[in-house]
Amino acid sequence: MTDEAREELIEEVVNSKPVSDFLAASPDERERPTYFVRPWNDREPWGDSFIDAPLVRSLLAATIEPGYHFCHSALNVAPRGVNRVQFHQDHHHWKHENPVNIAERHRYYIQILYYPNGFKRGDRSLSVIPGSHRVAPTNKATPEALLSGAYDEEAGRKLECVHLELPPGSFVYLNARTFHGVEPKPLDSPQPYRIFTIDIFKEAGPPHRHTQEISQAWMDRADSHRRKMFDREAYTEECWNTEL
């Protein structure tokens, strides 16, 4: 992100009333340890611009070709004292406690995670296991097993945990099948909170269970590219549970 985009996005997030109320409350007053909203509908101009910024469009076209849809978005603000998020993957057709749509299993789901205030390693930082998206989704393929060396041949590389450290204004472009986790935010962190926003795009096909409802206001101001991204069916259990 440019410095302007990064600073403006932070302002948009922390000045929104739900987030400002959350940050003003004490840990005991908060209903949840982090502020989390999905879908993130109340996007201001800078947050909205990330949906189809030129670089985003180029990356998605190169990965999925033109046939991709905007699936859903979320916003997370994590203050000091928040616990670790264990290793997991977010492709809901790949390996999940909820029913999966087998026909969708090999389609692309791309997560773009934006970090306007960045993070230091060990301070609510992101860790990933590159190559883990290539391992078949069996119950035995746990994060622990992936890191044991048992799946290196299937992945085509040595599977190791990479602990990221990103400067303010960075983003991560992630295959949703890739296992990743998040470190705690220490109570003595010099950064009072960490922000990340996320947009998820998917290859054309049945909708995801979190498919975001597109408001008429969004459609009214959408150009032809956005209309194509936003034009998809609503989620139903029937479309989700289809199997090969």
pLDDT tens per residue across span 35-94? 999 999 999 999 999 999 999 999 999 999 878 999 999 999 999 999 999 999 999 888
Strand partners, 79: 193
> Phi and psi at residue 146, in whole multiples of 5°?
-60, -40
User: To the nearest whole number, what is the mean pLDDT of the chain?
Assistant: 94
Mark out the alpha helices in 33-156 (DSSP H runs): 45-49, 54-64, 143-146, 152-155
Q: What is the mean pLDDT of residues 146-168?
A: 98
d(CA 76, CA 14): 11
- Kindly report the pTM of this predicted structure: 0.94
Give yes or no for a contact between 111 and 196, defined as CB atoms under 8 angstroms apart.
no
The angle that helices 17-24 and 3-15 make with each other, rounded to 10 degrees, is 70
Residue 25's pLDDT is 96
Place of tokens 């295959």: 175
Residue 209's pLDDT is 87
Name the CATH topology of 3-232.
Jelly Rolls (2.60.120)
Count the Cβ atoms, other than its own, within 10 Å of residue 20.
Answer: 13
d(CA 98, CA 125): 27
Residue 197's pLDDT is 97
d(CA 145, CA 140): 7
Q: Tell me which amino acid residue 36 is.
A: F
Task: Output the six-digit token pair for 226.
Answer: 């956005």
Residue 97's pLDDT is 82
Q: Tell me which amino acid residue 162 is.
A: V
What confidence tier does 99 reach under pLDDT thresholds 50, 70, 90? confident
Q: What is the mean pLDDT of residues 153-173?
A: 97
> Phi and psi at residue 242, in whole multiples of 5°?
-60, 135
Distance from CA of residue 45 to its chain's centroid?
A: 20
